[in-house]
Structure 1
Amino acid sequence: MTLLSSSLYPILSNHIFWNHKTRFQFDVDTYELWILFAVEGGSFSYRIGDAEATAQMGDVVVCPPGLSFHRSVINALTFHYIGFSLGSVPGELTKRTEEEAAIRLQLASSAYKLNIRNLDRLADNMKLLKLHAETVGELRHYWQNHALNDIWHFCRHSEAAPADEENRPADPLIERAKLYIHQHGYGEMSMLKLAAELGISPVQFSRRFCKSMGMTPSDYLSHIRLEKVKTLLIETQFPLEQIALACGFSNGFYLSRVFSKIMKVSPSAYRKMNRV
């Protein structure tokens, strides 16, 4: 059974993005709404009901209404705070009550963490939440509620897709590294800082990343940057200098050299060939 019933869906009430928060204002709080913490960086320990755990980059923690949420920052925390209610399609009240009770039980069994199988998709949704954080009115609510629903409905129990020898689960630490790179890779990016964030040495990180992904962390960073460059070349009229700065390159000249070496065609030629 999936974690989330198809007849219940989240309705966003409020969203706040916290960057490098060093401590919570309250060590424990109880909410009238459902509360979701989606962690982009750092870590915190928490207790909800009888469940105690630690949440870090790539984790999503959900606290149902009425339960005490004990929490303490371990490493400076960057996260999305979302309050929401549960809506339902037309049906009997008893069915809704039973389904909500089942969700609470399933959350309790997983220490109130949602199992995010696709961290790239989570990263995209967190970008969407931030992108519309300053938008005013119904447009902000629409897009942020869309991101919340996507996070909610693509969370599954680990038993929903059992792994076998030929389909081993991805390395969770490297999945967190990929999420970090997607979140921070278009600005100044330090692999040393990322390794420290993951709690391993740079050498261990590089070896583990290569084993999991078949490429170095730096090559993966270059890959996602170039994918964004290609998108901007095709979908915008931005000059190369602007694209370079938006994708983590120091200037347009350096971007042109890297792009031409890897793609075997200049950025201007690529743009001309792929415009429709």
Structure 2
Amino acid sequence: MTAISDIRSAQTDGGPAIFPAFSSLSELHWQVDEYTYWEKKQEFLLDTDTYPGWCLFAVENGSFSYEIGETTGVASSGDLVLCPPNVPFHRTMTAPGLSFHYLRLDLSMRCPASGTAETERPDGSLSLPVSITPGDRRRLFDSFAKWKTIGPLPVPERKKLLSHYWNDIWTSWCLELLSAPGPRSSQPPQDELMNRAAKLLEQHCSQPYGVKELAHELGLSSVQLIRRFRSAYRLTPGDYLTSLRMERACRMLRETRMTVDQIASVCGYATGHYLSRLFAARIGVVPSEYRKRHRV
């Protein structure tokens, strides 16, 4: 199986990669529609919320745990959590005093020839990680400081400048991916335990299996596993597992006549309804539309 965390790979098994190639990632263009800075927030007003567009929680200080679809994790200082539209965002503050930047975002594709943003949205071959951690912390926190300065400006100017600095963060992270190893890379991570973790996720991607089971098998706590895996692969184990399952689901939709319920059962999901919801959130279209577009 082609490793889904090798984000630089443009295609797998003749079909589109679930994580796009670097060029596709860097061509994404974000528009900030709303911005709020929360300083030393004591608790979330809602434990679960659903947003009509993309939303970003960029942590400056403190930490919180989250669950978005099949992905769970803990976000701390310097982590960015990206929630797709209309997907429940479960979050719990691990300790009071969380400072973070909230951005509501719109997403389009940048036209490579002109550098302008196209009106159409990315197609069904696109899926993005839930959590990213830029390696250049100095640049990231410099952007955080600029966001707070920009916040009080009039709306048109504020949106333009906020969008500029968020796209700068995003593009810088895309560049970091060029040197990020994948589990099938010729230069795998030095953390052998996390290499084993990646292999276990690949072996169990067709079964009900998650972070808790993996952490127990490796003799780690869930928090330890998430931090080490993300350090090694630039993805949380939950994101990695979901991407493996989405890759398998896409391949089956393209190459077989299996129903969505049947595909769900061999991708580790209890029902076809749940797979359809997650598939639409991660891939951008429902399974039937994906099959219609990509079936040979």
Q: TM-score, normalised by structure 2?
A: 0.48
State the AA in 2 paired with 1:38.
A
| Equivalent residue, structure 2, for 1:210 | none
State the AA in 2 paired with 1:55.
A
Q: Cα RMSD (Å) of the superposition?
A: 2.9
In the alignment, structure 1 residue 124 sits paired with structure 2 residue 146? no
Residue segments in structure 1 that go unaligned for 5+ positions in a row: 170-276
Question: CA separation of 1:136/1:157 partners in 2, compared to 1, >3 Å: closer, same or farther?
Answer: closer
TM-aligned CA deviation for residue 148 of structure 1: 1.2
| Equivalent residue, structure 2, for 1:248 | none
Equivalent of 1:96 in 117, 122, 127: 122
Q: Measure, in 1, the Cα distance between the counterparts of 2:175 and 2:142.
A: 21
SS at match of 2:141: helix
8 Å CA contact 1:36–1:63 kept in 2: the answer is yes
Residue segments in structure 2 that go unaligned for 5+ positions in a row: 1-7, 9-21, 112-117, 192-296
8 Å CA contact 1:20–1:78 kept in 2: the answer is yes
Equivalent of 1:12 in 27, 32, 35: 32
Equivalent of 1:87 in 72, 89, 108: 108
Query: Number of residues paired by the alignment?
Result: 159
Equivalent of 2:178 in 157, 160, 173: 160
Question: CA separation of 1:3/1:113 partners in 2, compared to 1, >3 Å: closer, same or farther?
Answer: farther
| Equivalent residue, structure 2, for 1:246 | none
8 Å CA contact 1:114–1:156 kept in 2: the answer is no
Q: Which has the larger radius of gyration?
A: 1
Q: Measure, in 2, the Cα distance between the counterparts of 1:57 and 1:97.
A: 32
In the alignment, structure 1 residue 67 sits paired with structure 2 residue 87? yes
Q: Measure, in 2, the Cα distance between the counterparts of 1:92 and 1:22.
A: 39
Q: Measure, in 1, the Cα distance between the counterparts of 2:161 and 2:180.
A: 33
In the alignment, structure 1 residue 35 sits paired with structure 2 residue 44? no
TM-aligned CA deviation for residue 72 of structure 1: 0.7
Q: Measure, in 1, the Cα distance between the counterparts of 2:23 and 2:56.
A: 15
Higher RCO (CA < 8 A, seq sep 6+): 2
Question: CA separation of 1:55/1:134 partners in 2, compared to 1, >3 Å: closer, same or farther?
Answer: same
Which has a greater percent of helix? 1
Equivalent of 1:146 in 164, 185, 210: 164
8 Å CA contact 1:4–1:153 kept in 2: the answer is no
Question: CA separation of 1:46/1:162 partners in 2, compared to 1, >3 Å: closer, same or farther?
Answer: closer
State the AA in 2 paired with 1:103.
S
Q: Measure, in 2, the Cα distance between the counterparts of 1:162 and 1:140.
A: 33
